[in-house]
Amino acid sequence: MDGRAVELSAREFTLAEVLLEHPRQVLSRDQLLDMVWESSSETSSNVVDVYIRYLRAKLGAERIVTVRGAGYRLATAEELARR
pLDDT in tens, 20-78: 999 899 999 999 999 999 865 667 779 999 999 999 999 999 999 999 999 999 999 88
pLDDT in tens, 55-69: 999 999 999 999 999
Backbone angles phi, psi at 19, to 5 degrees: -65, -40
Question: Is the four-CA dihedral 39, 41, 47, 49 of positive or negative sign?
Answer: positive
| Domains and their CATH numbers in the chain | 10-82 (1.10.10.10)
- pTM metric for this prediction: 0.88
Residue 1: is its pLDDT beyond 90? no
